[in-house]
């Protein structure tokens, strides 16, 4: 149903499964970078995660520009930083502790976050190291001490030093002792906030969330910090509305699973939404906030943090984005799911489902090229998908309350009672007494037989499980190989709750004309309870007749003449012959 | 004076009566006494045939894929075949057969069959690791099957016999000369192929003989195909068999060709071929059995049963068909009908441990309690090896669980383990009993062992998952549940457990 209706709603404009774009929704934006009225796609590509980070620009179906990034991008936004004509936006890429601003796709400015307060003790210690008063080992000890006690955390350089081996320390100190000690934080999310006008092309400030639980608002021209707000936890996602000079509202999803709402008046959060699980997506639709959580749910809140609704999704959320079509007054939320679907929700109603060939990792909706309603998605495998919303497409709210569950109408496959069965029940009814007596007699006999065999097995320790109270052991054997060489692995486990077992040995009994064993007697180390100890040895099959035999394994205790355990290994037939 | 029989005639008579060793001895004597006689050629021929007959095995039935052939197979085309077109990936049952919760699985993910034959047990393992770990010689399915196909390992017979050297020295044989003599060449070929197991020379001989017959003799083409098949040249074998079928329609050739297709993992082609064969030989039992087996291997139990029923209509003493239908009834909740089939086997004279074992289980589940335990007692009296004994004790353990005698059940499962150390099911059940006693450490150790012994079974994983969840080790519980889901994706309890765990993880 959804398949056909989606074909009618979306046009497949472009699909490149091997575009090699690995990115998330926060690093995706649409902007008119050339000023000719054609919107382009700006992507902060994460590459392989350790190399190949790039800033890419797509126009139409083609990649028009590509420049390397120094570090992993945490976020990317396009914003207007001045009032010059033609109105061309700048691109800000947040990575590490810096914001790199590109104008006309050329590096224009680099803003670095102010350093954090450095522990004075730490500084003193490094000062001493610099003057050669202490050797690296003492340095390490002192830094360890500071790390444990001090309120201000250590700098990155010190932490790196502490993780080194003793051999590498000297070199590290030589290399780093001349540099001043700094403590730097990194950017976790970035957004834009209009400065004074609500116009589409008004000048915007950058809003930055950092690892040190701060929010900074930057001036777009001078790049000075206009406002600083602090949060109780590290922000991960944010949504900003309003104008800086008038009134604004910053919604921040944090790592402690709460969403904080900041207002212009105070530098502390005004409202707090406590979620039951971690948020993975935060989208504002009109006056309400839609949050996707790790428990596969989508929740709606008012701007003041009042919960409106909650629905359960069919799969975990991978990404979320808003779909805003001002020309039609249509606002909805796009949710990428791990089951290769993208679902469109208006409030709690599912409007449509788009099936994708791969799991979608980022979504962006907006004006691309000259088309207003364009949906851009990148997939987990690096593919790029562009779909255009048809002008005729209409979304209707479906009533999501279904009738009785489908399972009600499924018939169970219960086999019919056969005539035979009826006859047998008749027999049972008539001869119930005799049957019961016969069964009870057989049962007593069988109990006796079982007990006899069991005792015999216990006496000769035939079982691979020892039930003695002093050495509760368990063994199983695995044979690997095609032959003529086999690897024999004996997994021995002490199943006691807390007592170790000592002084054990293993020996083997086998036909010496058929097999050769590398070590027919082995000692077992102390067995700690609960762990599996693999004991390995090699068996060589010396016969070329294609026959196999049993190898018996005994676990022996020093000073006792009967084995604790016995295992019989059915050796496989050797499928290869030994070369001479 | 006693009139002595002509030794050659006596030898012939022995041969007819299948006293092959005597026949061979007399022939040897004739050959030694009068090497230049007229009877020389005849007796040589006779001895060759006697020796061949001694080690002859049915090439169509007996064929076990070696591990090297399985894993180092170069003729595999698609690693991931579409469901329903490959023997390698049985997938979910399309025939609406019982789920693994009801009918146990073999390692390859197929429901166990009612009749053990080569390739029903091992199947094709998925990974090298799994393949080299498989106990390839032992292990029967549980509940024990009613009859087992016996097979000698191919090509080892000649090494075990003949202490005084070979009867015919192949290296000194002039194959070209013999290939000209149609009377001798066939006997010689069979000798080389079956007794000496020298496929290369056999192939040479067959190639020259078929050339001599101007490529018009279907028999030689079939033999060529057999040689190619043994050498693993399946496409060449297919060509020869196809060409032989053009000359003469023979049931055997159809069976050989189907075997080639099965080896090439083309079960659909093999099925079509069998159906084509049925057009020429309507209601031929071997062809019907072949179809049923393929359906069974492709996890389509209900159509397999249909074909086995067709087989029974033609041959009402067909052990394999009776056993398979019986076990199918057993696992589809109709033990009383299964009981009928197994009793039929008993009437036919099949008298072994496995059959009594099955009878005991059927009696128990069909509520005929008076005969249950006596059947098991007989099964115990008839056991041939330790594995069978382990299986009988395992099933008695099940009965004990059924009547609530947990001490007896515990002893039985322990005994099953004593006789067969690799009995994963027994480990699993023992773990559950230990858990009931509150011995968590033991139970956990048993479940881990069961899981490592039989990674294809979902039960130990699921039980381990429940146990870990109860003691609060959610991470282990989750990994175990995932393994359980891998081996039995439709298991509802696993799904629910996973859902519950996911909820646990996502809650702050």
Confidence of residue A113 (pLDDT cuts 50, 70, 90): confident
Burial (Cβ within 10 Å: 0-12, 13-18, ≥19) of residue A531: exposed
pLDDT at B121: 44
Residue A518 has pLDDT above 70, yes or no: yes
Q: B159 contacts in A (CB within 8 Å)?
A: 544-546
Q: B501 contacts in A (CB within 8 Å)?
A: none
pLDDT at A490: 87
Average pLDDT estimate for A355-372: 90
Contact of A446 with chain B, judged by CB distance below 8 Å, is answered with yes
Q: A451 contacts in B (CB within 8 Å)?
A: 411
CB contact under 8 A, A570 and B138: yes
List all residues of chain A from 366 to 425 with a beta carbon under 8 Å from chain B.
413-415, 418, 420-421, 424-425
Q: A480 contacts in B (CB within 8 Å)?
A: 132-133
Residue B463 has pLDDT above 90, yes or no: yes
Which one is predicted more confidently, B487 or B220? B220
Residue B165 has pLDDT above 60, yes or no: no
Which one is predicted more confidently, B147 or B181? B181
- Placement of tokens 């099949």 in the chain: B350
Does an H or E element contain B254, and which?
helix B251-263
Query: For A323, phi and psi rounded to 5 degrees?
Result: -120, 110
B68, B502, B506 member nearest A575 (Cβ): B68
CB contact under 8 A, A482 and B132: yes
Average pLDDT estimate for A29-57: 87
A427, A438, A480 member nearest B133 (Cβ): A480
Q: What percentage of chain B reaches a pLDDT higher than 70?
A: 76
Residue A191 has pLDDT above 80, yes or no: yes
Residue A565 has pLDDT above 70, yes or no: yes
Sign of CA dihedral B8, B12, B13, B14: positive
Average pLDDT estimate for A384-389: 90
On whether the CB atoms of residues B297 and B87 are closer than 8 A, the answer is: yes
- Report chain B's mean pLDDT, rounded to a whole number: 79
pLDDT at A404: 65
How confident is the model over B231-270, as pLDDT tens digits?
A: 888 889 999 999 999 988 889 899 999 988 888 888 899 9
A418, A472, A547 member nearest B337 (Cβ): A418
pLDDT at B155: 35
Residue B418 has pLDDT above 80, yes or no: yes
pLDDT at A577: 63
pLDDT at A497: 77
How is the beta sheet containing A288-293 ordered, strand by strand? Answer: A279-285, A288-293, A297-302, A307-312
On whether the CB atoms of residues B289 and B315 are closer than 8 A, the answer is: no
CB contact under 8 A, A463 and B418: yes
Residue A397 has pLDDT above 80, yes or no: no
B67, B337, B412 member nearest A575 (Cβ): B67
Distance CA B46, CA B8 (A): 9
Half-sphere exposure of A305 (CA within 13 A, CB side): 17
Domains in chain A with CATH codes: 2-115+185-389 (2.130.10.10), 120-176 (no CATH), 473-570 (2.60.40.1230)
pLDDT at A369: 87
Confidence of residue B421 (pLDDT cuts 50, 70, 90): confident
Residue A155 has pLDDT above 90, yes or no: no
pLDDT at A411: 78
Q: B336 contacts in A (CB within 8 Å)?
A: 418, 420-421, 424
Average pLDDT estimate for A121-141: 81
**Which residue in A has a C-alpha nearest to residue B129's C-alpha?**
A480
Q: Which two tokens stand for residue A225?
A: 């910090």
Q: Which two tokens stand for residue A128?
A: 């001493």
Q: Which of A464, A497, A536, A564 to mutate to test the interface with B (most CBs of B within 10 A)?
A: A464
CB count in 10 Å sphere of residue A287: 9
Confidence of residue A499 (pLDDT cuts 50, 70, 90): confident
Confidence of residue B122 (pLDDT cuts 50, 70, 90): very low
Residue B136 has pLDDT above 50, yes or no: no
Domains of chain B: which residue ranges?
A: 1-56, 422-506
Which one is predicted more confidently, B207 or B84? B207
Residue A184 has pLDDT above 70, yes or no: yes
- Placement of tokens 């007794």 in the chain: B195
CB contact under 8 A, A450 and B376: no
Q: How far is CA A499 from the centre of its chain?
A: 38
Confidence of residue A291 (pLDDT cuts 50, 70, 90): very high
Closest Cα of chain A to B131: distance in Å? 9
Closest Cα of chain A to B371: distance in Å? 8
Residue A550 has pLDDT above 90, yes or no: no
CB contact under 8 A, A572 and B417: no
Distance CA B26, CA B46 (A): 10
How confident is the model over B269-290, as pLDDT tens digits?
A: 999 999 999 999 988 999 999 9
Residue A343 has pLDDT above 50, yes or no: yes
In the CATH hierarchy, which top-level class contains the domain B422-506?
Answer: mainly alpha
**Which residue in A has a C-alpha nearest to residue B420's C-alpha?**
A568
CB contact under 8 A, B370 and A434: yes
Instruction: Say what angle helices B285-297 and B267-280 make with each other, to 10 degrees.
Output: 160
Asked whether the bond before B143 is cis by omega within 30 degrees of 0, the reply is yes
Distance CA A34, CA A86 (A): 9
**Which residue in A has a C-alpha nearest to residue B400's C-alpha?**
A443
Contact of A220 with chain B, judged by CB distance below 8 Å, is answered with no
pLDDT at B2: 66
Q: Which two tokens stand for residue B309?
A: 């029923």
Confidence of residue B95 (pLDDT cuts 50, 70, 90): very low
pLDDT at A421: 87
Residue spans of beta strands (DSSP E) within A326-472: 330-337, 341-346, 349-355, 360-368, 371-379, 384-389
Confidence of residue B161 (pLDDT cuts 50, 70, 90): very low
Running DSSP on this structure, what letter comes out for residue A406? Answer: G
Q: Which of A277, A291, A421, A439 to mutate to test the interface with B (most CBs of B within 10 A)?
A: A439
Closest Cα of chain A to B336: distance in Å? 6
Which one is predicted more confidently, A502 or B163? A502
pLDDT at B126: 47
Residue B147 has pLDDT above 50, yes or no: no
Residue B462 has pLDDT above 90, yes or no: yes
Contacts of B109 (CB under 8 A, 6+ apart): B90, B123, B456, B487
pLDDT at B192: 84
Q: A277 contacts in B (CB within 8 Å)?
A: 506-508
Question: Helix or strand or coil: residue B452?
Answer: helix
Confidence of residue B150 (pLDDT cuts 50, 70, 90): very low
Distance CA B254, CA A169 (A): 76
Q: A573 contacts in B (CB within 8 Å)?
A: 136-137, 153
List all residues of chain A from 121 to 160 with a beta carbon under 8 Å from chain B.
none
Instruction: Say what angle helices B182-190 and B199-212 make with each other, to 10 degrees.
Output: 160
pLDDT at B232: 81
- Placement of tokens 């004006």 in the chain: A367
- Number of Cβ pairs < 8 A linking chain A and chain B: 165
- The pTM (predicted TM-score) of the whole model is 0.67
CB contact under 8 A, B411 and A450: yes
Q: How far is CA A160 from the centre of its chain?
A: 25
How confident is the model over B282-318, as pLDDT tens digits?
A: 889 999 999 998 888 887 888 889 999 999 999 888 8
Least confident of A177-186, A429-438, B70-79, B435-444: B70-79
Residue A256 has pLDDT above 50, yes or no: yes
Cα–Cα separations (whole angstroms), residue B402 to A91, A109, A224, A492, B361? 73, 79, 79, 32, 11
How confident is the model over A200-251, as pLDDT tens digits?
A: 888 899 999 998 889 999 988 888 888 899 999 999 999 999 898 888 999 9
Which one is predicted more confidently, B405 or B6? B405
How confident is the model over B53-79, as pLDDT tens digits?
A: 877 776 666 555 555 565 566 655 555
Residues linked to residue A551 through DSSP beta bridges, in sequence order: A569
Q: A567 contacts in B (CB within 8 Å)?
A: 421
Residue A425 has pLDDT above 90, yes or no: no
**Which residue in A has a C-alpha nearest to residue B365's C-alpha?**
A421
């Amino acid at each position: 149903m959804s398949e056909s209706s989606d074909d009618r709603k979306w046009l497949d404009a472009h699909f490149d499964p091997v575009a090699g774009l690995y990115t998330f929704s926060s690093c995706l934006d649409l902007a008119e970078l050339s000023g000719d009225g054609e919107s382009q796609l700006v992507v902060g590509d994460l590459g392989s995660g350790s190399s190949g980070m790039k800033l890419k620009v797509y126009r139409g179906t083609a990649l028009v520009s590509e420049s390397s990034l120094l570090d992993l991008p945490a976020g990317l936004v396009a914003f207007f930083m001045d009032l010059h004509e033609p109105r061309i936006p700048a691109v800000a890429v947040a990575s590490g502790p810096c914001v790199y601003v590109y104008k006309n796709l050329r590096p224009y400015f680099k803003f670095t976050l102010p350093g954090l307060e450095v522990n004075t003790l730490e500084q003193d210690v490094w000062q001493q190291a610099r003057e050669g008063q202490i050797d690296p080992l003492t340095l390490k000890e002192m830094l360890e001490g500071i790390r444990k006690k001090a309120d201000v955390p250590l700098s990155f350089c010190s932490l790196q030093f502490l993780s080194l081996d003793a051999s590498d320390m000297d070199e590290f100190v030589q290399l780093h002792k001349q540099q001043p000690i700094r403590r730097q934080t990194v950017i976790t999310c970035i957004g834009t906030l209009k400065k004074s006008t609500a116009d589409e092309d008004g000048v915007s400030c950058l809003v930055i969330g950092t690892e040190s639980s701060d929010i900074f608002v930057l001036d777009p021209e001078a790049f000075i910090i206009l406002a600083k707000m602090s949060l109780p936890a590290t922000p991960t996602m944010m949504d900003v509305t309003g104008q800086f000079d008038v009134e604004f509202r910053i919604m921040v999803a944090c790592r402690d699973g709460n969403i904080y709402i900041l207002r212009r008046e105070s530098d502390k959060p005004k409202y707090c939404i406590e979620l039951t699980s971690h948020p993975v997506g935060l989208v504002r639709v009109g006056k309400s906030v839609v949050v996707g959580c790790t428990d596969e749910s989508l929740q709606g809140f008012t701007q003041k943090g009042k919960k409106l609704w909650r629905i359960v999704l069919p799969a975990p959320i991978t990404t979320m984005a808003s779909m805003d079509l001002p020309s039609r007054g249509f606002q909805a939320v796009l949710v990428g799911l791990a089951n290769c679907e993208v679902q469109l929700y208006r409030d709690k109603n599912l409007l449509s489902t788009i099936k994708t060939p791969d799991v979608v990792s980022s979504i962006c909706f907006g004006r691309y090229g000259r088309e207003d309603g364009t949906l851009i998605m990148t997939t987990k495998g690096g593919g790029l998908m562009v779909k255009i919303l048809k002008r005729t497409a209409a979304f209707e709210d479906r009533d999501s309350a279904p009738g009785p569950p489908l399972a009600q109408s499924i018939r169970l496959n219960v086999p019919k009672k056969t005539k035979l069965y009826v006859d047998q029940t008749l027999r049972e009814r008539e001869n119930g007494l005799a049957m019961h007596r016969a069964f009870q007699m057989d049962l007593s006999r069988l109990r006796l037989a079982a007990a006899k065999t069991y005792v015999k097995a216990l006496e000769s320790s035939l079982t691979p499980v020892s039930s003695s109270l002093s050495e509760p052991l368990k063994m199983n054997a695995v044979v690997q190989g095609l032959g003529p060489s086999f690897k024999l692995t004996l997994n021995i486990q002490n199943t006691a709750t807390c007592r170790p077992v000592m002084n054990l040995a293993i020996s083997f009994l086998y036909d010496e004309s058929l097999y050769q064993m590398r070590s027919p007697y082995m000692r077992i180390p102390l067995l700690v309870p609960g762990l599996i100890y693999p004991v390995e040895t090699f068996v060589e099959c010396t016969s070329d007749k294609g026959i196999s035999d049993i190898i018996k394994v005994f676990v022996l205790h020093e000073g006792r003449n009967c084995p604790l355990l016995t295992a019989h290994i059915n050796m496989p037939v050797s499928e290869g012959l030994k070369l001479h | 004076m006693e009139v002595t029989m002509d030794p050659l005639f006596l030898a012939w008579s022995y041969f007819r009566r299948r006293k092959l060793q005597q026949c061979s001895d007399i022939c040897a004597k004739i050959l030694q006494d009068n090497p230049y006689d007229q009877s020389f050629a005849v007796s040589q021929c006779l001895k060759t045939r006697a020796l061949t007959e001694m080690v002859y095995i049915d090439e169509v039935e007996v064929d076990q894929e070696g591990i090297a052939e399985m894993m180092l197979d170069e003729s595999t085309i698609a690693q991931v075949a579409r469901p329903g077109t490959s023997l390698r990936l049985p997938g979910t049952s399309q025939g609406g057969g019982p789920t693994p919760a009801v009918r146990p699985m073999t390692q390859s993910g197929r429901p166990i069959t009612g009749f053990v034959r080569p390739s029903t047990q091992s199947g094709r393992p998925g990974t090298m690791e799994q393949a080299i770990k498989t106990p390839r010689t032992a292990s029967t399915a549980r509940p024990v099957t009613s009859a087992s196909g016996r097979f000698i390992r191919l090509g080892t017979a000649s090494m075990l016999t003949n202490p005084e050297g070979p009867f015919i020295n192949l290296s000194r044989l002039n194959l070209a000369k013999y290939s000209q003599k149609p009377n001798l060449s066939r006997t010689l070929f069979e000798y080389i192929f079956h007794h000496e197991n020298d496929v290369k020379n056999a192939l040479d001989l067959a190639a020259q003989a078929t050339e001599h017959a101007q490529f018009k003799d279907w028999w030689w083409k079939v033999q060529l195909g057999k040689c190619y098949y043994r050498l693993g040249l399946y496409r060449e074998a297919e060509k020869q068999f196809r060409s032989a079928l053009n000359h003469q329609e023979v049931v055997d050739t159809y069976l050989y060709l189907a075997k080639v297709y099965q080896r090439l993992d083309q079960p659909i082609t093999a099925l079509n071929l069998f159906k084509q064969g049925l057009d020429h030989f309507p209601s031929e039992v071997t062809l019907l059995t072949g179809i049923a087996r393929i359906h069974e291997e492709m996890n389509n139990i209900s159509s397999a049963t249909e074909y086995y029923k067709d087989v029974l209509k033609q041959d009402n003493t067909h052990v394999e068909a009776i056993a398979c239908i019986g076990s199918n009834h057993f696992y589809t909740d109709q033990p009383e009908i299964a009981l009928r089939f197994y009793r039929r086997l008993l009437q036919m004279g099949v008298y072994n441990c496995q059959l009594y074992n099955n009878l005991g289980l059927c009696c128990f589940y069909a509520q005929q309690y008076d005969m249950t335990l006596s059947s098991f007692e007989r099964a115990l009296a008839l056991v041939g090896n330790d594995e069978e004994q382990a299986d009988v004790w395992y099933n008695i353990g099940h009965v004990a669980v059924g009547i609530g005698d947990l001490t007896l059940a515990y002893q039985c499962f322990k005994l099953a383990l004593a006789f067969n150390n690799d009995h994963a099911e027994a480990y699993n059940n023992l773990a559950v009993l230990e858990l009931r006693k509150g011995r968590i450490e033991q139970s956990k150790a048993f479940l881990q062992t069961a899981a490592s012994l039989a990674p294809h079974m979902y039960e130990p994983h699921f039980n381990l998952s429940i146990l870990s969840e109860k003691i609060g080790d959610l991470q282990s519980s989750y990994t175990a549940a995932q393994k359980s889901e891998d081996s039995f994706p439709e298991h509802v309890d696993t799904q629910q457990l996973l859902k519950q765990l996911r909820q646990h993880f996502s809650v702050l």
